[in-house]
Amino acid sequence: MGWQTEEKRVSIRYPYTRPVSYMALGESGRPPDKVAVHGEILNLSSGGMRIRTERQALEEGTVLQVWFPLSEPPVTIPVLAQVRWVREEMPGEYQVGLRFMI
């Protein structure tokens, strides 16, 4: 028997490398961010995105306001997303899975 993982995604991921800004919204026990944090989008689907960030304080379930960049026209669109998972990629650098909240 080989090691297998069950695929949970329902949407296809597409490479989409762009800078992104976000702020955690206030929750119980955590005040809202006062300054936007910057990161980089790594991929995108109709259900969410994966980003790389140096911010380690993100926890599963945290709701973020994300300024999603479009390449043409050069504007950003504010969206709400929830942190689904956080993984340390290397010391001080994290990958974060976000689910769009609709």
pLDDT tens-digit map of 68-88:
888 777 899 999 999 999 999
pTM over 0.75: yes
For residue 99, the model assigns a pLDDT of 96
Q: What is the 3-state secondary structure (H, E, C) of the chain?
A: CCCCCCCCCCCCCEEEEEEEEEEECCECCECCCCCCEEEEEEEECCCEEEEEECCCCCCCCCEEEEEEECCCCCCEEEEEEEEEEEEEEECCEEEEEEEECC
pLDDT at 1: 45
Mean pLDDT for the stretch of residues 81-99: 93
The answer on pLDDT for 10 being more than 80 is no
Instruction: Tell me which of 1-10, 29-38, 74-83 is least confident.
Output: 1-10
**Beta-carbon contacts of residue 71 (< 8 Å; ≥ 6 apart):** 18
